[in-house]
Structure 1
Amino acid sequence: MGLNEAPLLFNFEVESSENFTFIPMSVRFNLDRFGLRITLAQWQMLPLEDRKLLARFPVDDDTEIEPNFDHALFEMLRTHANVEPEWFTPEEAPLWRRTDSVPEGVTHQAGLAGLTAPSVARWAELDPFKRYVLAKLSRKPEANHDFVPAMKEFGGGA
């Protein structure tokens, strides 16, 4: 599986990423998948074309499918920022992978926004990357400004 033709951005991200000023969800997914952490300042040190390239990597949960994201990120950061990303151990069983229950954070965010949380059946139907996005946007107790647009884009939140 190769790179996507265009950067992977959801509609709700187009405005909020401000032309890749902020880290898109596809890059966040791959950072979490590979156990890498970068700061927003490090991200912003990368040339725009490099940021767009990182957002073209596939968002598949299998690290064997596209193992070059981490190598590309390391080279870009060394070249343009003279830093390396931090390593961490990725979660073995993150809540977004589960299809038998909706993560508490997602239910909480939906409540804060006055939306109906997805049912377990609807949650299970969502693409794994969309489940990741909703869980990622729900990790803090305060309302996330991208949660409502994401829910609407993914067909939820009636």
Structure 2
Amino acid sequence: MGSHHNSASHCFAFEQDFIGNWRCIPLCVRRKLDLIGLKLKLNHWLALSQAQRQELVDWPDASDALEQLREHLRCCTSGMPEGMAKDLLPIVDAAWQQADRCPAEVLTAAATRGVGLTPAQWSGMSELERFALCKLVRPGHDHHNLEAAFSEVLA
């Protein structure tokens, strides 16, 4: 199971098509944004340099580091045409933070793809893996990565 992955900066194989050039915000960064409650738009992300984007991927997720991340991003985005990244409420008690309870949407998505997902598998995942599955099953989300995500996370 994937619990050996570092939730802070692990990138999934199914994200490989944009790793390196970072043309989309990878899930590990999106998780950190949820944790600090900051709305970073794709335009903000694309206005950052490669090195800055890489720095966000590598940024640790301890609470003091996340505090610094919020300040850092507000600082980086304040001069952008898009305006400063907006504050949201930090995510607390999200489905992906509950190791003991797999959300129905994830179970349904797994079942419709013929994937058996056990409670033990869910609780054995890293927080980032749970985050990825919760994000990828949302209605209106591009689901083409979901099969790849299930096979990678349950490998």
- In which range does the TM-score fall when normalised by the shorter chain? 0.7 to 0.9
Q: Determine the structure 2 residue equivalent to 1:136.
A: 135
1:35 aligns with 2:37: yes
What is the distance in 1 between the residues matched to 2:72 and 2:136? 25
The alpha-carbon distance between structure 1 residues 52 and 18, as it changes in their structure 2 partners (threshold 3 A), is closer
Gaps of 5+ in 2: 1-5
Residues 6-48 of structure 1, C-alpha deviations (whole Å, 9 max, x = no match): x632211111457200000111011000000121122111112
Alpha-carbon distance in 1 for matches of 2:54, 2:81 = 17
Gaps of 5+ in 1: none
Q: Which residue of 1 aligns with 2:120?
A: 121
Q: Give me the whole-angstrom Cα distance separating, in 1, the residues matched to 2:29 and 2:35.
A: 10
Q: 1:117 to 1:32 in 2, by over 3 A?
A: farther
Does the Cα contact within 8 Å between 1:17 and 1:23 map onto a contact in 2? no
Provide the C-alpha distance between the structure 1 equivalents of 2:99 and 2:15, rounded to a whole number of angstroms. Answer: 25
Change in CA separation of 1:82 and 1:132 when aligned onto 2, cut-off 3 Å: closer
How many residue pairs get matched? 148
Moved over 4 A (4+): 79-82
Q: Which has the higher contact order (CA 8 A, sep 6+)?
A: 2
Cα contact 2:15–2:26 (8 A) shared by 1: yes
Residue equivalent to 1:145: 144
Which whole-Å CA distance do the structure 2 matches of 1:82 and 1:139 have between them?
26
* Aligned 1:60-139 pairs, distance under 5 A: 60=61, 62-79=62-79, 81=81, 83-112=83-112, 114-139=113-138
Seen in structure 2, the aligned counterparts of structure 1 residues 96 and 82 have a Cα distance that, compared at 3 Å, is closer
In structure 2, C-alpha distance between the alignment counterparts of 1:76 and 1:93, rounded to whole Å: 28
TM-score, structure 2 normalization = 0.81
For 1:104 and 1:132, locate their aligned partners in 2 and report how far apart those are by CA, in whole Å: 14
Q: Could you tell me how far apart the structure 2 residues matched to 1:75 and 1:20 are?
A: 20
Indicate the percent of aligned positions where both proteins have the same amino acid.
25
Which one has a larger percent helix, Structure 1 or Structure 2? 2
